[in-house]
Structure 1
Amino acid sequence: MSQKLEATTEILSSADKFYGFFRNSMSDLANIFPAGFKSVQVIEGVEGSVGAVLFYSIVVGAISQSVKLRTEAINDAERSVTYKALEGDVLQLYKSYQFTLTVSNGSVKWTIEYEKALPLVPPPEIYMAFAFATTKAVDAYLLLSQ
């Protein structure tokens, strides 16, 4: 059974620039947030388009992990992007895992939809904390580059 975890955090940068980064520039995350992203590679399609697949080497909660994500949906009018995990460590805990970020003026809402692999698996709160840390890093980068 699919479950959902949602949380919102503030941003100070322009909503359009923040959304544009997550829509088109995910491959820059290793340069902006090297403590969290060791590498990001486009392995299929064109970054910023539905169907693009990127491979991430990340550090979540001091644990090195990898994940292959496909861009599932892009909605420019609502400033939202949805990514789905195709392979990786996250799928050892969850049968399915996808997340959506929706950017508004002054805030970002993260929605993680997941199905636990086993009943005792906790909700993906550690991944939500990682999303918030990534939000802060990108927000700071965008503010400094304005």
Structure 2
Amino acid sequence: MTLSGKMEAEVEIKVSAETFHDVFSCRPHHVSNMSPAKVQNVDLHEGDWGKPGTVISWSYVHDGVAKISKQVIEAIDDVKLSTTFKVIGGDITTEFKNFKFIVQATPKGEGSCLVHWTLEYEKLNENVPDPRTLLELLIHLSKDIEEHHLTQKPTAQA
């Protein structure tokens, strides 16, 4: 049994690729407003929002349990509309030696996009299950962000 793995999932949402990318690349601290049942808080530890090298901490609920994940924003690609997060602390590190989240938004028609999540990981041992439920959480989180944007009242532009 191999300890390294990669899991991927994709979901189509009715949010522009640029808007979705902006949420994860520059405004992850707003996710708790868009999906409060899944993400309670995102705190800035060092660096600046929207910059590679920034360290943030997510307070979230996974499988009914409150958890923490400390991550560094490893890369932001504004052309491919992708953001890479590397886990550097928190609950995930109790089961995984290495863990990365990569989220990419690809435009699909007017005001829609495909959100592609990739989890790259190395388990601490062979008894650790694949992070399937974590990937499912991210798909549901993407749908919550869609719902938030669909129900948000438009504001006047200055």
TM-score normalized with structure 1 length? 0.95
Structure 1 position 141 matched with structure 2 position 148 = yes
CA distance in 1, matches of 2:41, 2:85: 17
Aligned twin of 1:102: 104
Please say if residues 18 and 142 of structure 1, whose CA atoms lie closer than 8 Å, have aligned partners that are also in contact. Answer: no
Please report how far the alpha carbon of residue 143 of structure 1 lies from its aligned counterpart in structure 2 after TM superposition: 2.3
Aligned twin of 2:26: 24
CA distance in 2, matches of 1:126, 1:120: 16
Structure 1 position 33 matched with structure 2 position 35 = yes
When the two chains are superposed, the root-mean-square deviation of aligned CA atoms in Å is 1.1
The alignment partner of 1:139 has SS state of helix
1:1-146 matched pairs, under 5 angstroms: 1-105=3-107, 106-145=113-152, 146=154
The alignment partner of 1:118 has SS state of coil
Structure 1 portions without partners, runs of 5+:
none
Please say if residues 9 and 117 of structure 2, whose CA atoms lie closer than 8 Å, have aligned partners that are also in contact. Answer: yes
Q: Mark the structure with the bigger radius of gyration.
A: 2
Give the aligned length.
Answer: 146
Aligned twin of 2:110: none
Structure 2 portions without partners, runs of 5+:
108-112
Please say if residues 23 and 31 of structure 2, whose CA atoms lie closer than 8 Å, have aligned partners that are also in contact. Answer: no
CA distance in 2, matches of 1:21, 1:58: 16
Letter of the 1:85 counterpart: V
Please say if residues 17 and 142 of structure 1, whose CA atoms lie closer than 8 Å, have aligned partners that are also in contact. Answer: no
Letter of the 1:123 counterpart: D
Q: Percent identity between the aligned chains?
A: 31
